[in-house]
Structure 1
Amino acid sequence: MLAILAITGTGLEIAKYGIGMLMYYTVLSNLLVAVFAVYMVYAMNKGQNLQDQNFLRIKAGVTMSIMITCVVYHIMLAPLAEHFWRVENLLCHYIVPIYFLLDTLIVDRLRQYKWLDPVWWTSLPLAYMAFGLVNGFFLKIPIPDAKDSPFAYFFLNVPKYGWNYVLTYCAIIFVTYLLFGYVLAGVKSLKPQSFLAKSAPF
């Protein structure tokens, strides 16, 4: 189901608005989830272990990559959206990210992450930020329906807002992302027995 939803959301974005939609982090992160979910289906059919520690560490990185799509959109971009109630918009920004997060929280084994993992999980958003700036300054590939094109998002538009504005926004996003990465790692390190022990009357 997750694979179908991710493929549908990504496919609708590209089919409706063109291949240039791949310039958005939203579409790229949903494409990543689609590919990852398809691989999970393939691996399950082959009888592979989807609870392997290294696999779960990678999956957590994908989880964080798609959740930043949800959080940044909801807080910073949704209030500016002109076409909020589109199927592809809801799929890419809410349904797929929350679905994938719940899958990670509920299905994956506990105590599988290392404490430097949240740092490594920041690599994909940082790489996209660098790419977004390179495109804005040098490549100048047009981005569909982006008011700040060739910058995908307003908080990357250095010529319009200046470096202080952009770096401040990016720093806030980075620190929040890293913090929530450690929150995820902490939650997945808890022992269920500890909750039972605290709540037991005897």
Structure 2
Amino acid sequence: MRKQLILGSRLLLFVLSLTGTFLEIYKYGGHMLMYYTVLSNLFVTLFTFYLVLEMVIGKDWERTSLLRVKGGVTMSIMITCVIYHFMLAPLADDFWRVENLLCHYIVPLYFLADTLLLDRPRQYRWFDPIIWTALPLLYMVFGLFNGLVLKIPIPDADDSPFAYFFLNVTKYGWAYVLTYAGTIFVAYLLAGFVLYGLKRLDFTKK
């Protein structure tokens, strides 16, 4: 029964993440893939599909290696929620869009709840939160490389070819960007250790 309930929940999560990602790209164009928001939601969509597939074919969907990766996916989508809520939402003039709510709130919080409540506890290694920083760091490198070298335009970005204002080295300078990036990195790392600590507890007990 537990497996069926989790499978149903993850099927719903897959549909929601797919819907949000599809609407962002369909309504606003392929350039939306330049945004971390859409990339992280696409990552969640693909990963959730993989989780569902493993459950359907009967593989060990609770193995430690998979849950450790899932912790990284959880962190990668939650930074989308947190940065948007505290840094970008106050600047938004189109907040109440279905795709916006799906990608920035519903899917990230749903995925976090899935990790906290449904995954087996005590599967992470102490150094996993450090490894989990790789995804946002890679995106930051990509965002800076595009803004400074490739210069692929992002039509809906006020700071194009930078996807986000806090990456705009040309306008604000390196000190500004590195301060923002460093603050986000430290907060992300600390949040990773908080997730590690929470998963030392057993939320799956009845």
Q: TM-score, structure 2 length as denominator?
A: 0.92
Identity score, percent: 68
What is the CA–CA distance in structure 2 between the aligned matches of 1:111 and 1:53, rounded to whole Å?
A: 9
Which is higher, the Rg of structure 1 or of structure 2? 1
20-29 vs 36-45, greater mean Cα deviation: 36-45
Of 18, 30, 33, the residue aligned with 2:29 is 18
What is the CA–CA distance in structure 1 between the aligned matches of 2:201 and 2:65, rounded to whole Å?
A: 19
String of CA shifts for 1:91-143, please: whole Å, max 9, x gaps: 00000000000000000011000000000000000000000000000111111
Q: Does residue 97 in structure 1 map to residue 104 in structure 2? A: no
Aligned to 1:65: 76
What is the CA–CA distance in structure 1 between the aligned matches of 2:86 and 2:202, rounded to whole Å?
A: 32
Of 118, 126, 138, the residue aligned with 1:115 is 126
Aligned-residue offset at 1:30: 0.1
Of 4, 7, 17, the residue aligned with 2:18 is 7
Aligned-residue offset at 1:191: 5.1
- For structure 1, which runs of at least 5 residues remain unmatched after alignment? 193-202
1:41-52 map, 5 Å: 41-52=52-63
What is the CA–CA distance in structure 2 between the aligned matches of 1:138 and 1:120, rounded to whole Å?
A: 27
Aligned-residue offset at 1:37: 0.7
Query: How many pairs align?
Result: 195
What is the CA–CA distance in structure 1 between the aligned matches of 2:55 and 2:125, rounded to whole Å?
A: 25
String of CA shifts for 1:37-85, please: whole Å, max 9, x gaps: 1111111110111110000000000000000000000000000011000
Aligned to 1:141: 152
> Does the 8 Å contact 2:120/2:202 carry over to 1?
no
What is the CA–CA distance in structure 1 between the aligned matches of 2:82 and 2:109, rounded to whole Å?
A: 10
- Report the residue type matching 2:72 in the other structure: G
Across the aligned residues of Structure 1 and Structure 2, the Cα RMSD in angstroms comes to 1.6
- Report the residue type matching 1:2 in the other structure: L
- For structure 2, which runs of at least 5 residues remain unmatched after alignment? 1-11
Of 149, 161, 175, the residue aligned with 1:164 is 175
Q: Does residue 177 in structure 1 map to residue 185 in structure 2? A: no
> Does the 8 Å contact 1:132/1:156 carry over to 2?
yes
Aligned to 1:152: 163
- Report the residue type matching 1:180 in the other structure: A
What is the CA–CA distance in structure 2 between the aligned matches of 1:87 and 1:169, rounded to whole Å?
A: 29
1:185-196 map, 5 Å: 185-190=196-201
Q: TM-score, structure 1 length as denominator?
A: 0.94
- Report the residue type matching 1:86 in the other structure: R
